[in-house]
């Protein structure tokens, strides 16, 4: 399944060039502000640093990512002229501080980009975890002290993040002793 760049609905591609769910969407997309146009605007900021990137390549990334933020999975937007929009697409370097080259970039929400700053994905997840867990309380279970919402949190995380969670829990255990 592919996400239509205009209406974001899911559809099955008939061939490599099939990009929109309908002719109406294709027409609206081509008439209105396009993603390629939006990306061109993005590239004009810090044009020198980003000279190895181009709008078509960014649009390809957008399509591959299904129109969603590479970190949060939130639907990307391209709303201009309304001040800062947290969900607007922005160019993120996978290796923070690394080069603006195709292999090192992905599209993420503006908010995620500014929040992540220069830290790694793992560190970002760790911080998210701290926020989620802040409200948690320790309760006594059959096998000792367990976290009330640990099961729910784990279900939401990728295996990698879950491993990180174990490590965080370990640290907390040690601190408690």
Residues that bind Zn ion (CB under 5 A): 4, 6-7, 21, 25
Pairing of strands 89-93, 10-11: unpaired
Q: Between 27 and 122, name the residue whose CB sits nearer to Zn ion.
A: 27
Give min distance, CB of 32 to Zn ion, in A. Answer: 12
Helix (H, G, I), strand (E, B) or coil at 141: strand
112: left (phi over 0), alpha (psi -120 to 50) or beta: alpha
Give min distance, CB of 25 to Zn ion, in A. Answer: 3
Helix 55-64 vs helix 35-44: angle between axes, to the nearest 10 degrees? 120
Q: Between 21 and 70, name the residue whose CB sits nearer to Zn ion.
A: 21
Length of the chain: 177
Give min distance, CB of 8 to Zn ion, in A. Answer: 7
C-alpha 119/C-alpha 96 separation (Å) is: 7
Q: Between 29 and 125, name the residue whose CB sits nearer to Zn ion.
A: 29
Give min distance, CB of 13 to Zn ion, in A. Answer: 13
Calculate the alpha carbon distances from 51 to 22, 27, 60 in Å. Answer: 34, 30, 17
Q: Between 75 and 104, name the residue whose CB sits nearer to Zn ion.
A: 75
């Amino acid at each position: 399944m592919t996400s239509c760049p205009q209406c974001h609905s899911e559809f099955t591609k008939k061939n490599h060039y099939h990009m929109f769910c309908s002719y109406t969407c294709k027409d609206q997309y081509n008439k209105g502000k396009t993603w390629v146009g939006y990306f061109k605007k993005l590239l004009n900021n810090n044009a020198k640093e980003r000279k190895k990137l181009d709008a078509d390549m960014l649009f390809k990334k957008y399509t591959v990512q299904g129109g969603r933020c590479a970190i949060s999975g939130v639907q990307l937007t391209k709303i201009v002229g309304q001040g800062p929009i947290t969900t607007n697409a922005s160019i993120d370097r996978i290796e923070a501080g690394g080069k603006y080259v195709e292999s090192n970039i992905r599209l993420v929400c503006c908010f995620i980009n500014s929040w992540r700053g220069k830290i790694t994905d793992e560190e970002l997840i760790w911080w998210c975890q701290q926020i989620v867990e802040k409200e948690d309380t320790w309760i006594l279970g059959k096998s000792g002290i367990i976290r009330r919402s640990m099961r729910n949190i784990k279900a939401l995380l990728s295996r990698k993040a879950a491993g990180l969670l174990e490590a965080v829990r370990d640290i907390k255990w040690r601190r408690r002793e």
